[in-house]
Amino acid sequence: MAKSSPTSLWLWLALAAVIVLADQFTKTLIIAAFDHGEALRVTSFFNLTRHHNPGAAFSLLADAGGWQRWFLSAVAIGASAFIIWLLHKHHSQRLFAFAIACIMGGAIGNLVDRLLHGYVIDMLDFHFRWLQPVFHGGHFPTFNLADMAISIGVIGIILDEILRVRRSR
């Protein structure tokens, strides 16, 4: 393994910081423009809304009574520390470093919400008739920019692993 270059490590940390800033900026706009539960129809399949999620993805643990705020915050802090270590060790693996920087940026974006508000602010509401058998009213769970970054990061990790396995053959 190559030694970590401070410049390359800072590049990935800067990417995570940009994600956090963009996420918090969009959430600030939503807080200013919408009351909780209010929605604006943008297209036939997309609404901007303001939703509060005290749980994790898909509202997992949303009704857990409050302890989940601190548990999920601790998970985000621990994951971010681990990701910084991974970035230090694997900064030259561009796809992998990009992916985990996205995950860290998303985790910290949602962490800021949990610490400031006690819940995560979601605003992107996609709904399609073909989703009705799986989601109430065909509405995919409302999400935010941080969630998108985490999803992009997970896809990046999967792609990186597929490419790594192919190269090893």
Which residue numbers are catalytic? 122, 147
Distance separating alpha carbons of residues 80 and 92, to the nearest angstrom:
19
Distance separating alpha carbons of residues 100 and 75, to the nearest angstrom:
15
CB-based contacts of 144, cutoff 8 Å, min separation 6: 23, 26, 27, 109, 110, 120, 121, 122, 123, 124
Cβ neighbour number for residue 96 with a 10 Å cutoff: 21
Distance separating alpha carbons of residues 79 and 114, to the nearest angstrom:
15
Query: With left for phi above 0 and alpha for psi between -120 and 50, is residue 49 left, alpha or beta?
Result: beta
Element (H, E) at 27: helix 6-33
